Amino acid sequence: MYEVEIKIPADLDATRERLRAAGAERVDARRQRDTYYDAPHREFAETDEALRIRRETPLEGDASSTATVTYKGPLIEDASKTRAEHETGVDDGEALAAALSGLGFEPAATVEKHREFWAYDGFTVTLDAVTGLDEYVEIERAVDEEREVGAAREAAIDALDRLGLDADRQVRTSYLGLLLADEAD
Protein backbone atom coordinates (compact mmCIF):
# COMPACT_ATOMS: atom_id res chain seq x y z
CA MET A 1 0.00 0.00 0.00
CA TYR A 2 1.12 3.56 -0.73
CA GLU A 3 0.03 6.60 1.22
CA VAL A 4 -0.31 9.57 -1.14
CA GLU A 5 -0.15 12.66 1.05
CA ILE A 6 0.23 16.40 0.65
CA LYS A 7 0.83 18.53 3.74
CA ILE A 8 0.66 22.32 3.79
CA PRO A 9 0.72 24.97 6.50
CA ALA A 10 -2.75 26.47 6.85
CA ASP A 11 -5.08 28.24 9.24
CA LEU A 12 -7.24 25.49 10.74
CA ASP A 13 -10.27 27.66 11.55
CA ALA A 14 -10.49 28.95 7.97
CA THR A 15 -9.95 25.45 6.53
CA ARG A 16 -12.62 24.00 8.81
CA GLU A 17 -15.11 26.58 7.52
CA ARG A 18 -14.20 25.80 3.89
CA LEU A 19 -14.64 22.08 4.53
CA ARG A 20 -18.10 22.68 6.01
CA ALA A 21 -19.06 24.90 3.07
CA ALA A 22 -17.88 22.18 0.64
CA GLY A 23 -20.07 19.56 2.34
CA ALA A 24 -17.21 17.61 3.89
CA GLU A 25 -18.02 15.35 6.82
CA ARG A 26 -16.16 15.67 10.12
CA VAL A 27 -15.35 12.09 11.07
CA ASP A 28 -13.27 12.14 14.24
CA ALA A 29 -10.94 14.09 16.51
CA ARG A 30 -8.04 12.59 18.46
CA ARG A 31 -4.95 13.39 20.46
CA GLN A 32 -1.97 11.47 19.10
CA ARG A 33 1.38 10.82 20.73
CA ASP A 34 3.87 9.33 18.26
CA THR A 35 7.11 7.88 19.58
CA TYR A 36 9.71 7.41 16.83
CA TYR A 37 12.52 4.89 17.17
CA ASP A 38 16.14 4.64 16.08
CA ALA A 39 17.23 1.23 14.79
CA PRO A 40 20.37 -0.52 16.03
CA HIS A 41 21.26 -1.73 12.51
CA ARG A 42 20.79 1.40 10.34
CA GLU A 43 20.14 5.13 10.51
CA PHE A 44 16.51 5.82 9.64
CA ALA A 45 17.30 9.52 9.15
CA GLU A 46 19.77 8.54 6.42
CA THR A 47 17.49 5.95 4.78
CA ASP A 48 14.38 8.20 5.01
CA GLU A 49 12.47 5.52 6.92
CA ALA A 50 10.49 5.69 10.15
CA LEU A 51 9.30 3.30 12.83
CA ARG A 52 6.79 4.60 15.34
CA ILE A 53 4.33 3.63 18.00
CA ARG A 54 1.23 5.85 17.92
CA ARG A 55 -0.95 6.12 21.00
CA GLU A 56 -4.33 7.73 20.29
CA THR A 57 -6.94 9.10 22.66
CA PRO A 58 -10.34 10.14 21.30
CA LEU A 59 -11.26 13.76 22.03
CA GLU A 60 -14.97 12.96 22.00
CA GLY A 61 -17.33 10.01 22.26
CA ASP A 62 -16.95 6.74 24.11
CA ALA A 63 -14.14 5.11 22.13
CA SER A 64 -11.13 3.87 24.09
CA SER A 65 -7.47 4.67 23.56
CA THR A 66 -5.58 2.64 20.96
CA ALA A 67 -2.01 1.93 19.87
CA THR A 68 -0.55 1.14 16.45
CA VAL A 69 2.91 0.40 15.11
CA THR A 70 3.86 1.84 11.73
CA TYR A 71 6.79 1.39 9.39
CA LYS A 72 7.18 4.10 6.72
CA GLY A 73 9.51 3.51 3.81
CA PRO A 74 11.47 6.18 1.95
CA LEU A 75 9.65 8.77 -0.15
CA ILE A 76 9.13 7.45 -3.68
CA GLU A 77 8.61 10.73 -5.57
CA ASP A 78 9.46 14.41 -5.38
CA ALA A 79 5.93 15.71 -6.00
CA SER A 80 4.34 14.55 -2.72
CA LYS A 81 4.99 12.72 0.55
CA THR A 82 4.16 9.33 -0.98
CA ARG A 83 5.76 6.27 0.56
CA ALA A 84 5.09 2.62 1.31
CA GLU A 85 3.45 2.30 4.71
CA HIS A 86 2.67 -0.74 6.85
CA GLU A 87 0.59 -0.29 9.98
CA THR A 88 -1.16 -2.56 12.42
CA GLY A 89 -2.90 -2.23 15.75
CA VAL A 90 -1.30 -3.51 18.93
CA ASP A 91 -2.99 -4.52 22.17
CA ASP A 92 -0.45 -2.86 24.43
CA GLY A 93 1.76 0.01 23.24
CA GLU A 94 3.88 -0.12 26.39
CA ALA A 95 4.63 -3.84 25.93
CA LEU A 96 5.61 -3.17 22.31
CA ALA A 97 7.89 -0.32 23.43
CA ALA A 98 9.57 -2.70 25.89
CA ALA A 99 10.00 -5.35 23.18
CA LEU A 100 11.56 -2.82 20.78
CA SER A 101 13.90 -1.64 23.54
CA GLY A 102 14.92 -5.24 24.20
CA LEU A 103 15.82 -5.56 20.50
CA GLY A 104 17.97 -2.42 20.61
CA PHE A 105 15.47 0.09 19.18
CA GLU A 106 15.61 3.30 21.21
CA PRO A 107 13.12 6.17 21.32
CA ALA A 108 14.39 9.07 19.22
CA ALA A 109 11.65 11.67 19.67
CA THR A 110 7.97 12.15 20.40
CA VAL A 111 5.48 14.16 18.35
CA GLU A 112 2.18 15.22 19.94
CA LYS A 113 -0.76 16.62 18.03
CA HIS A 114 -4.48 17.23 18.09
CA ARG A 115 -6.08 16.06 14.86
CA GLU A 116 -9.47 16.46 13.26
CA PHE A 117 -10.36 14.05 10.49
CA TRP A 118 -12.69 15.04 7.65
CA ALA A 119 -13.96 13.02 4.68
CA TYR A 120 -13.87 15.05 1.48
CA ASP A 121 -14.11 13.90 -2.13
CA GLY A 122 -12.67 10.42 -1.45
CA PHE A 123 -9.80 11.79 0.68
CA THR A 124 -9.07 12.07 4.36
CA VAL A 125 -8.35 15.69 5.21
CA THR A 126 -6.62 16.11 8.56
CA LEU A 127 -6.41 19.37 10.48
CA ASP A 128 -3.30 19.16 12.66
CA ALA A 129 -2.28 21.32 15.61
CA VAL A 130 1.21 20.02 16.39
CA THR A 131 2.82 20.83 19.74
CA GLY A 132 5.86 23.04 19.09
CA LEU A 133 4.94 23.69 15.43
CA ASP A 134 2.41 25.60 13.35
CA GLU A 135 -0.96 24.37 12.08
CA TYR A 136 -1.06 22.06 9.06
CA VAL A 137 -3.56 20.45 6.75
CA GLU A 138 -2.88 17.02 5.28
CA ILE A 139 -4.85 15.44 2.48
CA GLU A 140 -4.27 11.77 1.81
CA ARG A 141 -5.53 8.64 0.12
CA ALA A 142 -4.16 5.12 0.16
CA VAL A 143 -3.58 3.34 -3.15
CA ASP A 144 -2.60 -0.27 -3.74
CA GLU A 145 -0.27 0.10 -6.72
CA GLU A 146 2.58 2.50 -7.40
CA ARG A 147 1.10 3.19 -10.85
CA GLU A 148 -1.93 4.81 -9.08
CA VAL A 149 0.17 7.38 -7.22
CA GLY A 150 0.23 10.09 -9.91
CA ALA A 151 -3.54 10.15 -10.41
CA ALA A 152 -4.16 10.22 -6.65
CA ARG A 153 -1.66 13.09 -6.23
CA GLU A 154 -3.29 15.13 -9.00
CA ALA A 155 -6.76 14.52 -7.51
CA ALA A 156 -5.43 15.68 -4.11
CA ILE A 157 -4.05 18.86 -5.67
CA ASP A 158 -7.45 19.52 -7.30
CA ALA A 159 -9.25 18.91 -3.99
CA LEU A 160 -6.92 21.31 -2.16
CA ASP A 161 -7.52 23.93 -4.85
CA ARG A 162 -11.31 23.62 -4.40
CA LEU A 163 -10.75 24.21 -0.67
CA GLY A 164 -8.75 27.37 -1.41
CA LEU A 165 -5.45 25.78 -0.35
CA ASP A 166 -2.27 26.03 -2.41
CA ALA A 167 -0.49 22.68 -2.98
CA ASP A 168 2.60 24.64 -4.06
CA ARG A 169 3.11 25.43 -0.35
CA GLN A 170 3.62 21.72 0.31
CA VAL A 171 5.96 20.65 3.10
CA ARG A 172 7.56 17.25 2.44
CA THR A 173 9.33 17.08 5.79
CA SER A 174 7.66 14.98 8.48
CA TYR A 175 6.50 16.53 11.74
CA LEU A 176 9.37 14.69 13.39
CA GLY A 177 11.84 16.25 10.94
CA LEU A 178 10.34 19.71 11.43
CA LEU A 179 10.57 19.40 15.23
CA LEU A 180 14.16 18.13 15.11
CA ALA A 181 15.17 20.94 12.72
CA ASP A 182 13.51 23.47 15.03
CA GLU A 183 15.44 22.07 18.01
CA ALA A 184 18.72 22.29 16.06
CA ASP A 185 18.20 26.03 15.38
Structural domains for the chain: 2-184 (2.40.320.10)
- What is the per-residue pLDDT across 47-64, written as a single tens digit (0 to 9) for each? 999 999 999 999 887 788
- What is the per-residue pLDDT across 136-165, written as a single tens digit (0 to 9) for each? 999 999 999 999 999 999 999 999 999 999
The overall pTM is greater than 0.95: no
Neighbours of 78 (CB within 10 A): 7
Residue 23, sorted as left (phi over 0), alpha (psi -120 to 50) or beta, turns out to be left
- What is the per-residue pLDDT across 104-132, written as a single tens digit (0 to 9) for each? 999 999 999 999 999 999 999 999 999 99
Q: Which amino acid is at 85?
A: E
Distance CA(22)–CA(156), nearest Å, equals: 15
